[in-house]
Structure 1
């Protein structure tokens, strides 16, 4: 599988086979993660790998609880009966044999007070790049992942930090399971979206959210050559 196929063919996996992931495979995807670009090579990332069943199962339940109560209901405004349908898609999620917690751990504190926002922007971009690398590498090796975030909605993931001994000053940015998909369901092509569909989305609009989760804006909607030209890939000079 080449790089472009790994990047564009990846999808979030919700159901997992319980068979363990070899240590070498875990280290391979983490090597891809830390190969991500990092301004000034500050490398503000740290990763906690969880593989013990007595931790992975409660961690899986915790992630689904945060997804349900904090993200789906509180943030997106979905009703409990709507979130129940979404959570029904996570059958066998607790079987995931490995979870990777992506953390923000600044290793250099040098910025002036007025520049701290720049340093934080750099750090968050680094973590996004590292997580993207990790997920693409996992897909290339036949492994599934699924991005979980929103921990700021749950006191910064305080309970998870206590479970895993993560220092108070270190932030949890994302968590992903890592494991073999439970089935070989073919990956469905993404449905092309329109800018109007995204702009019209409102909190509590479950049908619109369901549509948004199935697609992507096409390249010509988000790429501008030479100068900003109102969303068109074609430049008229």
Structure 2
């Protein structure tokens, strides 16, 4: 695929076929992704690629603890809740997804089931947990670099027919994730990526989230 086709065509995939993803293909995608820019070449990122029974245990523990009301324990800072236009964009994409899935505003059961899909890593056959070296904790460059490599990863996957969605719900219960993914103590859990072959008939997979225009995002200085 041409670069522009990948960037303009990629969508967040939230419905997957159960077919396994070959390890060799994931290794190929990671090899490409790790050519992403890295501040002073520190390359702070690491990846725990989980599938099969260990992933099922993460799904189960994550959802059971959330349903039981166990407070979330994300390891990277969460910040304050979105407000103003950032909140508007968050609500806007949620409305797009609910409309695609036929989930009515007052249908609490379906809305709750949708939330649970996130805690289950959207039932994808693979979960990639992005971590960074704890010795770099507090560095502003570190999450920037991890974001760059994650962006490269999901686009490399898309170029090979795989879908992905970057999410935080799947790592809300970090003790569960650490235990079943075997994450080393010298790593901080940052994000998770659901990965797999897109389910063509899953309505939410057709949703294309809106982007603000360049004239709203960019300030040009010194141009004629």
**TM-score normalised by L of structure 2:** 0.69
CA drift of 1:224 comes to: 1.5
1:167 to 145, 169, 184: 184
CA drift of 1:98 comes to: 1.4
SS of residue matched to 1:102 = strand
For residue 142 of structure 1, what is the aligned residue in structure 2? Answer: 161
Deviation track 1:68-113 (CA, whole Å, cap 9, x = no partner) reads 8759xx967x99938416337779932x221111111157x6xxxx
CA distance in 2, matches of 1:30, 1:10: 17
The structure number with the bigger radius of gyration is 1
The 5 Å alignment of 1:19-58 reads 19-51=19-51, 53-58=52-57
CA distance in 2, matches of 1:67, 1:75: 19
For residue 198 of structure 2, what is the aligned residue in structure 1? Answer: 181
SS of residue matched to 1:43 = coil
* Root-mean-square deviation over aligned CA pairs: 3.8
Matched, 1:93 2:122: yes
For residue 194 of structure 1, what is the aligned residue in structure 2? Answer: none
CA distance in 2, matches of 1:132, 1:38: 13
SS of residue matched to 2:165 = coil
Structure 1 stretches lacking a partner, 5+ long: 110-115, 191-213, 228-234
Higher relative contact order (CA 8 A, sep 6+): 2
For residue 222 of structure 1, what is the aligned residue in structure 2? Answer: 217
CA distance in 1, matches of 2:65, 2:8: 28
CA distance in 2, matches of 1:166, 1:38: 23
Aligned pairs, number: 191
CA drift of 1:158 comes to: 2.3
For residue 94 of structure 2, what is the aligned residue in structure 1? Answer: none
CA contact (8 A) 2:29 2:156 kept: yes
**TM-score normalised by L of structure 1:** 0.66
SS of residue matched to 1:54 = helix
CA distance in 2, matches of 1:223, 1:133: 22
Deviation track 1:33-88 (CA, whole Å, cap 9, x = no partner) reads 2111111100001111112x2122233455667898759xx967x99938416337
Pick closer, same or farther for the CA change 1:66–1:3 going to 2, 3 Å. Answer: farther
CA distance in 1, matches of 2:207, 2:177: 35
For residue 3 of structure 1, what is the aligned residue in structure 2? Answer: 3
Pick closer, same or farther for the CA change 1:5–1:65 going to 2, 3 Å. Answer: farther
CA contact (8 A) 1:56 1:99 kept: yes
